Amino acid sequence: MFTEKLMPRFSDTDALGHINNTVIAQWFEGSRYPIFKWFTPDLNVNNWKLILAKTVVEFHAELQYGESVEIRTYISRIGNSSFDVYQEVWQKDQKCASGTAVMVHFDHAAKKSKKITEFIVKQMELHAVN
């Protein structure tokens, strides 16, 4: 598991008075940062190796402005070239949202998916949902 603590921005709220649902996808993507580094250690976008195939977010409770949140990030599936990242947002000891991003290791030059290396698979296993 990776964890990241962050404070919501005021602009993350919406007129209903809570954090807007689309912001949770931004937080989740932000917290996939260590995963991006596995594939592109210098984070050079001209050498990016991942594409996002699908995202799912489930909303369990309203997220409030003015309280920090913790994002928890796990690897929930390791395929040949694709994998799933499972993430949760916690605020005040409550799981407020959870979701899964389906990512694909991709060779942009060859325009096709590519086997995940053994080295990265080992990293993933250390962060697997147990």
Q: With binding defined as CB under 8 A, does residue 34 bind a copy of itself?
A: no
Task: Give the number of residues written for the chain.
Answer: 130
Q: Residue 2 pairs with which residues in a beta bridge?
A: 73
Intra-chain end-to-end CA distance of the chain, in Å: 9
Q: Based on CB atoms, which residue is closest to a copy of itself, 23 or 89? A: 23
67 contact partners, CB below 8 Å, separation of at least 6? 8, 91, 92
- Residue from 47, 56, 80, 112 that binds a copy of itself (CB under 8 A)? 56
57 burial type by CB count under 10 A (0-12 exposed, 13-18 middle, 19+ buried) = middle
Q: With binding defined as CB under 8 A, does residue 61 bind a copy of itself?
A: no
Q: With binding defined as CB under 8 A, does residue 113 bind a copy of itself?
A: no
Helix (H), strand (E) at residue 59: strand 50-59
Closest CB 111 distance from a copy of itself, rounded Å: 12
Contact 27, 69 (CB under 8 A): yes
Q: With binding defined as CB under 8 A, does residue 65 bind a copy of itself?
A: yes
Q: With binding defined as CB under 8 A, does residue 66 bind a copy of itself?
A: yes
Q: With binding defined as CB under 8 A, does residue 58 bind a copy of itself?
A: yes
- The footprint of a copy of itself (CB under 8 A) covers 4, 6-11, 13-18, 20-23, 25-27, 29-30, 32-33, 36, 43, 45, 48, 51-59, 65-66
